[in-house]
Amino acid sequence: MNRRAFLGLAALPLTQALDVTPMRTSPGAVIGTEGATLADVDVVRDWQGRFCTPRVINRSAVPVRIKEVVLFELDLKLPPATALYGEGFQMLSQTGGTLGAPADLSQYTDATHYKMPATSGSRAYYGLLTLTPPREATRALAFTSCAKYSGRFEVEGSRVRAVVDTEGLELAPNESWTLEELMVASGADRAKLLSDVATRLTSHHSPPKTAAPPTGWCSWYCFGPRVTAQQVLDNLDVIAKSIPALKYIQIDDGYQSAMGDWLDTGAAFGGDVRTVLDQIRTRGFEPAIWVAPFVAEDASNVFQQHRDWFIKDDNGAPLRSDRVTFGGWRRPPWYALDGTHPGAQEHLAGVFRTMREKWGCTYFKLDANFWGAMHGGRFHDPHATRIQAYRRGMQAILRGSGDAFILGCNHPIWPSIGVVHGSRSSNDIKRSWDRISTTARQNLSRNWQNGRLWWNDPDATCLASDLTDAECQFHATAIYASGGMVLSGDDLTALPPARAAMLEKLLPPTGIAAEFEDASLRVGVVRLPNARMVGLFNWDDAPRTTSFRLERPSTVTDFWTGESLGRRQGSVSLDMPPRSAKLLKVG
């Protein structure tokens, strides 16, 4: 039974190719670093069905520096009520809403927080843009590779530009560059379109695989950077006795002497974090640790001793992050390691080799990865882009970390495809309804990535709080519906039994994300091998009745309470309190 039949929706056509004739005929443009169009540099667009492989060729007798390449610019003539979804360059940036009223899903936007440049007057979306007019098929525009350049879509009204950022690199006479692949398609089944995007991305960037989404415990959301060895070990006792399915025990920050000096533990954990890591391993669990590999503070040993390893400004000095982007959240401004520098590469590989082989860590949460792809700087390799710099740095980390699990966090989304096992798919969780609901929307909007590009990390499950039972059940249902990783963020020594039981029911994660019938994210289905799980979400501050449809007689059971709703067929309507969710097993 397919998803739409299960939900009782009318049959709709499969994904179809959007007419690309307007994109073919819309003139491309090559923009130089001074802002002028370069008439002697051609844009060549090779279309194969819905996929375009673009190139630029310098027909002149002199080298030229290219700021960006416009692959097409045209008015799609869509109404303001057209539903919009746009990915961000940085993990924390996403946009929903409509063409007429775009809505940031997070306060940390590429434009304002990370200060990424784009054409004045436009909104920029990176990697993926979907547009769904009322009662019409979805248009999907996507860059389906990201090996060297960042691709974005700039929108003004219903006018759309597809732009490849070439970062002012020099193109020699008669030289050509192959740019990133572009996909343009439409179809009535948006989920199928997004699946096609994921398939094409993985054909260009083979993702490192792990058998199942990781589970574990994270110290940050209960103890922060002042976590102690005793707090970790006390929680390990509870896990070993009551919740052994939480495999990875993650020390999230608080062990390093300085940002950048990851092997120098200073006074934290009695001066040696390895003692705690050894005890985790001795108890039969896997040691996990947080690292922000690309950043360093001014006072760190790595920066003071190896300033040549860092991204430079125009004068050849290390580039302060606050000059071009967000400066950093602790001990800023940060400086960013240059992933094209051989010394920086060996340093990164060495840090992770030490942590893997000598410290025994088998899981690394990498934070602040965005700065490895920081804009506005110069690299040791003058021909490299910031995408290449980041990916080379990540390849060095993978060489050092061996068989360990790599989670990307606070990272550039598209440049991370193929170099991480897991991807944080939302902002940090907090124990408030506002953050519970906003992170849920961010995570569920990225469900199409889970199990395809990587395992999604919806951030920690935080059930020890003053949230109502209904809000906690909403939170847990959203985690379940993400199909991704499950890490507890609570002090398990103080978690109430009812909330602990809810956590245990999330284990092990299914690895299968819910597919939602529309962008409202009110009704989603997880298609398990032997059952269907229906998630119903009331995001509102008022009660509402939510309905779904069963095409054949089925037994319906409340997953959280075990209560039977009996045999049901046809339209099933349930009254839902404010800020609540239900998870129903249908079989």
Q: What is the pLDDT of residues 195-231, one digit of tens each?
A: 999 999 999 999 888 889 999 999 999 999 989 999 9
Confidence of residue 9 (pLDDT cuts 50, 70, 90): very low
Are 58 and 173 in contact by the 8 Å Cβ rule? The answer is yes
Task: Give the model's pLDDT for residue 568.
Answer: 96
Query: How many residues appear in the chain?
Result: 587
Examine the pLDDT at 33 and tell me if it is beyond 90: yes
Confidence of residue 271 (pLDDT cuts 50, 70, 90): confident
Are 109 and 389 in contact by the 8 Å Cβ rule? The answer is no
Task: Give the model's pLDDT for residue 6.
Answer: 38
Which range scores top for mean pLDDT: 15-29, 252-266, 303-317? Answer: 303-317
* Percent of the chain surpassing pLDDT 90: 91
Task: Give the model's pLDDT for residue 2.
Answer: 37
Task: Give the model's pLDDT for residue 5.
Answer: 38
Task: Give the model's pLDDT for residue 400.
Answer: 98
Tokens 């190139």 belong to which residue?
A: 55
Cα 324 from Cα 327, distance rounded (Å): 8
Are 155 and 99 in contact by the 8 Å Cβ rule? The answer is yes
Look at the alpha carbons of 323, 327, 331, 337 in this order and tell me if their dihedral is positive or negative: negative
**Weakest mean pLDDT among 262-266, 442-446, 542-546:** 262-266
Region 307-312 average pLDDT: 98
Task: Give the model's pLDDT for residue 4.
Answer: 38
Cα 140 from Cα 130, distance rounded (Å): 4
Region 24-39 average pLDDT: 94
Confidence of residue 117 (pLDDT cuts 50, 70, 90): very high
DSSP string, 363-421: EEEE--GGGGG-SS-B-SSTT--HHHHHHHHHHHHHHHHTT-EEEE-S-BTGGGTTT-S
Are 524 and 481 in contact by the 8 Å Cβ rule? The answer is yes
Region 342-365 average pLDDT: 98
Examine the pLDDT at 244 and tell me if it is beyond 70: yes
Residues 500-521: tens digit of each pLDDT: 999 999 999 999 999 997 889 9
Write down the H helix ranges in 466-585. Answer: 469-482, 497-505
Task: Give the model's pLDDT for residue 17.
Answer: 56
Region 92-108 average pLDDT: 97
Closest CA to 523 of 539, 508, 542: 539
Examine the pLDDT at 294 and tell me if it is beyond 80: yes
Residues 134-162: tens digit of each pLDDT: 999 999 999 999 999 999 999 999 999 99
Averaged pLDDT of the chain: 94
Region 465-475 average pLDDT: 95
Task: Give the model's pLDDT for residue 374.
Answer: 98
Task: Give the model's pLDDT for residue 40.
Answer: 96
Tokens 């060297």 belong to which residue?
A: 148
Domains of the chain, start order? 15-204 (no CATH), 207-215+222-418 (3.20.20.70), 515-586 (2.60.40.1180)
Cα 267 from Cα 264, distance rounded (Å): 9
Cα 180 from Cα 196, distance rounded (Å): 17
Cα 119 from Cα 107, distance rounded (Å): 20
Letter for the amino acid at 24? R
**Weakest mean pLDDT among 45-54, 206-215, 454-463, 487-496:** 206-215
Are 504 and 492 in contact by the 8 Å Cβ rule? The answer is no
Task: Give the model's pLDDT for residue 47.
Answer: 95
Tokens 């050509």 belong to which residue?
A: 176
Write down the H helix ranges in 216-366. Answer: 220-223, 229-242, 273-282, 301-305, 342-357
Confidence of residue 265 (pLDDT cuts 50, 70, 90): confident
Confidence of residue 8 (pLDDT cuts 50, 70, 90): very low
| Residues paired with residue 86 on neighbouring β-strands, in sequence order | 95, 129
